[in-house]
Every structure is written in C-alpha cells, then in structure tokens.
C-alpha cells in the first residue's frame, strides 16, 4: 500500500517544498499537503499552540491539525541551521516538540535534524536518515537525494529570475500589469509574503495597482552576502541576514519607490531586523517605508487602508514634491 507523508503548507514550505517533494516521490512515497490557509486553519493553530509562539508557528500548528488524519507520517524536520555559521531561528529547533506536546492523535513524526552550521555535508546525512524510514536501499536514497538537490537548484534559479515561489509550486497565476510608475520592495519572511491568506494577498493588491513588486527572494545569495559582510557584526540568523541584506542592497538602487516590511507578531527576529531596516532607510534615504504587522486579529479593511494610503502618499510625493521629505 502506498505510504503517505504529510507536509504542512506553512513556514519553509515556500522554500523547500520542491526539494522534499522530489525526494519523497523518487522513493515512491506519496506527498500530501495541507489545504491552503483559511481562517479556520489559523484558528485551529491559535487554539492548540502556546500563547508565546509567533503567528507563523501558530499557523503551522493549524496546518498540522488539517493534515494529521490524512497521512501515515508527518514530515517536520528539526531545522537548526541551513547555512554555514548561521542559525535559522530558535522556534524551528523546537518545532517537532511543540507540535508533539500541543496536538493529540498525531501519526509518527519524521523529525530529522538539519544542521549545516559547521558543514554542508550534514545535509546528505539528514536525507539518508529520512530515506531510511522508507527503504534500506542506499542507492535509491542517494538517487532521490540527487534528484532533490537538482529540483531545489532549478526552483531557486526560477525564483532568482523573478518568479514568486507560489507561481512555481502552486501554479498560481499572477496578474502583472506594471504601468511603470512605481516599484515597491516587499520585505518579509517567505511564509508571510507568499501565504495569500496571511499576507491578505498583498502582492496581488499591489499588482492590481499597476505596481512592480520586488521581494528578497529575487536577489542572489552573493548580493545579500556582499551587503551583510559590511555590517559591523555578523547577523547569525539566516532569515534576518536575508531581509537586512535585501534592504541594504535595495537602498543602492534607483528603481525603488517604497519599502513595505511585513512582520509577524511575536517574531523576535523581525522585531530587531525591522527596526534596523527602518532606521537605515529613514537616516540615509528619502524612500518611504511602511511597517505592516500581521497578527491574529488583523482586519483586512484596516490593512487595505494603510496600504492604499502608503501608495497614495508615494504617488503624491512623486508628483508634487520631487520625493523630498515633507519633514525637510
């Protein structure tokens, strides 16, 4: 009988799903995803997770609830580090435990550790461990691993060329009708900006306005690294480094008319990085900056009003102020 592995459609699903899917399918394992985020899924997550968790981790709980009765295993790797010398985020390290102790009636969890802080070669070991849940054939596991790496590289190349992860993974149709007047950088974690429910479809809303949208995923690792190397201290949180590096790079460009930082309530990394970014932007440039916080009580009407006001303000300044700050 076909074995089913469940992957919650949350957190780093937007970054690693093509890789994991390729690996499992090469081993003959069926991959089952949770449904797209809805209000009931979010509410389930809020109801069963600890209050201290950040909003994306609460949402992850909701996706596990949505998936747990449809699969034989749940895949929740313990992601400690995905890059040399860096950590991903403390919440990821304890994610399998948070899930185990918060949700009842779970199938077995595959919680293999991924820790590339010292060496990237640990990745092969992690895949081997996952593969051994389903087969003892080393050749098959290594073939599936190679396929997974290939899929990941192809995915990343597509994203760097300017495709949104959801366009590639979910075949989402994005209506790009850029009328050439504005280009906005949308900064935030992948799971905040590409989850249409959580982000209140911000990318589509900006596109509807004829605005070009740039996200950190469009930038290469080299560009990000080059900028963060100039910081007085190493930013050792991978997510923080990408967001900060993206903002620093975008400040050098002449095509950015505004920056929106989408942060999630309860995220320690966002609390620090959004503040650093905002100070940098306000001190060194005239680029309008808006910080939008997503929390479990966020109402779409208020969100839209802030977004529309921000766009109107940028357009008004472009027309009437030659982009000189109203504060002098």
Per CB under 6 A, residues contacting ligand SF4 are 54, 56-57, 89, 91, 189, 239, 264, 267-270
Residue closer to ligand SF4 by CB (options 195, 270) is 270
Q: How far is CA 163 from CA 160, 171, 217, 256, in A?
A: 7, 11, 9, 18
Q: Residue 151 and residue 148: Cα distance in Å, rounded?
A: 5
Shortest reach from residue 202's CB to ligand SF4, in Å? 16
Min dist CB 220 to ligand SF4, Å, is 21
- 184 — phi, psi (to 5°)? -115, 135
Residue 219 CB, nearest approach to ligand SF4 (Å)? 18
Minimum distance of ligand SF4 from residue 140's CB (angstroms)? 33
Task: Report how far residue 279's alpha carbon sits from residue 267's, in angstroms, rounded to the nearest whole number.
Answer: 18
Q: Which is nearer to ligand SF4, 22 or 243 (CB)?
A: 243
H or E element that contains 214: strand 212-214
Q: Where are the alpha helices (DSSP H) in 117-267?
A: 122-131, 138-160, 165-169, 190-193, 202-208, 221-228, 238-252
The nearer residue to ligand SF4, 131 or 245, going by C-beta atoms, is 245
Closer to ligand SF4 at the Cβ: 8 or 131?
8
Helix, strand or coil, per DSSP, at residue 187: strand
Least distance between ligand SF4 and beta carbon 271 (Å): 9
**Based on CB atoms, which residue is closest to ligand SF4, 189 or 227?**
189
């Amino acid at each position: 009988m076909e074995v089913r592995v469940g992957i919650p459609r949350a957190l780093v699903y937007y970054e690693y799903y093509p890789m994991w899917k390729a690996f499992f399918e090469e081993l003959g394992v069926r991959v089952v995803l949770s449904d797209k985020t809805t209000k009931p899924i979010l509410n389930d997550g809020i109801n069963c997770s600890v209050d201290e968790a950040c909003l994306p981790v609460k949402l992850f709980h909701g996706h596990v609830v949505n998936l747990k009765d449809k699969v034989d295993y749940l895949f929740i790797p313990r992601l400690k580090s995905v890059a040399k010398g860096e950590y991903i985020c403390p919440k990821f390290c304890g994610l399998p435990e948070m899930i185990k102790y918060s949700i009842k009636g779970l199938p077995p969890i595959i919680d293999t550790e991924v820790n590339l802080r010292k060496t990237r070669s640990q990745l092969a070991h992690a895949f081997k461990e996952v593969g051994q849940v389903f087969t003892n054939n080393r050749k098959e596991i290594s073939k599936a691993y190679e396929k997974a790496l290939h899929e990941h590289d192809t995915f990343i190349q597509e994203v760097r060329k300017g495709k949104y992860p959801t366009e590639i993974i979910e075949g989402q149709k994005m209506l790009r009708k850029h009328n050439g007047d504005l280009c906005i950088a949308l900064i935030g974690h992948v799971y905040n900006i590409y989850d249409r429910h959580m982000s209140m479809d911000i990318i589509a809303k900006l596109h509807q306005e004829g605005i070009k949208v740039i996200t950190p995923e469009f930038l290469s690792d080299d560009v990000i690294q080059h900028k963060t190397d100039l910081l007085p201290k190493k930013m050792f949180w991978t997510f923080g480094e990408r967001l900060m590096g993206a903002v620093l790079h975008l400040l050098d460009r002449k095509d950015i008319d505004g920056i929106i930082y989408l942060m999630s309530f309860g995220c320690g990394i966002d609390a620090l990085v959004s503040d650093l970014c905002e100070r940098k932007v306000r001190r060194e440039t005239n680029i309008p900056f808006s910080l939008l916080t997503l929390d479990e009580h966020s109402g779409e009407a208020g969100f839209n009003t802030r977004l529309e006001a921000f766009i109107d303000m940028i357009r008004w300044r472009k027309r009437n102020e030659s982009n000189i700050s109203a504060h002098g």
